[in-house]
Amino acid sequence: MGTIWGIIKQSAEDIWDEFLYLIIFNAVWLLGSLLVLPWPYLTFALFFTAHEIGQGKAIKFSTFFMSAAPFWKQAYIWGAINLLMVFILWFNLNFYANFGTGWAAIVQIIFLAMILLWLVLQIVALPMYPRLEVPGFKTALRNAGILLGRYPHVALVLIIIVALFVIISSLFPLFAFFGAGAFTAVMANRAVATLLERELGRDV
């Protein structure tokens, strides 16, 4: 419980310290993502900026666009894989919706769970990229899977918070425009930073 509270407290401090920049960056990310093509890079930019904030570095407007610049190739590899995965999972979800049977409903539930698991994996994998000596999708995903496996309670809290952000955004669309994505990136960054510190402490 102490770990979770620490993550929430530090995330709130990060958001408060850079609130204006975060709402601006969130708006740029959301608008740019509607064009699809800039979406992978802007998503990396959001999480790399959250990493900079978590390290206590002073950020400016150019931070958002330049922090992830050396990793643009990894961003588009990540984007291509995610678009493919979303297509496959969503296609199967809709395919089994055509069957009015009990087993088809169970299969749909399985695919919904897979979509949720994939989303959480990505939320944890993205903050890994700035911390990797040799950034890559496979390494980031593997490390994210290890952390989620060892700290499932943190994964559950992330799921609840993201779900709350989605609900709030559906009720108040301005929240989605001015905060949801950036706040998620900040919290994910703090969660990964905290859990990696615990892992390093355990290995000593």
- Among candidate residues 198, 159, 193, the one with its CA nearest the CA of residue 10: 193
Mean pLDDT of 121-139: 93
Name the residue among 178, 153, 170, 192 with its Cα closest to residue 21. 178
Kindly give, in sequence order, each residue whose CB lies less than 8 Å from that of residue 67, ignoring residues fewer than 6 positions away. 45, 48, 49, 51, 52, 130
How many domains does the chain contain in total?
Answer: 1
HEC string for the chain: CHHHHHHHHHHHHHHHHCHHHHHHHHHHHHHHHCCCCCHHHHHHHHHHHHHHHHCCCCCCHHHHHHCCHHHHHHHHHHHHHHHHHHHHHHHHHHHHCCCCCHHHHHHHHHHHHHHHHHHHHHHHHHHHHHHCCCCCHHHHHHHHHHHHHHCHHHHHHHHHHHHHHHHHHHHCHHHHHHHHHHHHHHHHHHHHHHHHHHHHHHHC
Report pLDDT digits (tens) over 153-168. 888 888 888 888 888 9
User: Mean of the per-residue pLDDT values for the chain?
Assistant: 89
Nearest CA among 3, 4, 12 for reference residue 183: 12
Mean pLDDT, range 20-49, rounded to an integer: 93
At residue 203, does pLDDT exceed 60? no
Show the tokens assigned to 7: 């993550």
Provide the percentage of residues in the chain whose pLDDT is more than 90: 51
User: From the centroid of its chain, how far is CA 202?
Assistant: 25
- The predicted pLDDT at position 160 comes to 86
Quick: pLDDT tens for 162-197. Answer: 888 888 988 888 888 888 999 999 999 999 999 998
Contact 49, 59 (CB under 8 A): yes
pLDDT tens readout for residues 74-126: 999 999 999 999 888 888 878 877 777 778 788 888 888 888 889 999 999 99
Tokens read off for 17: 């310290």
Closest CA to 185 of 129, 110, 101, 109: 129
Q: Is the pLDDT of residue 204 over 50?
A: no
Residue numbers of the domain that contains 147: 2-203
What average pLDDT score do residues 67-80 get? 94
* pLDDT (0 to 100) of residue 90: 84
> 22 with 105: CB under 8 angstroms?
no
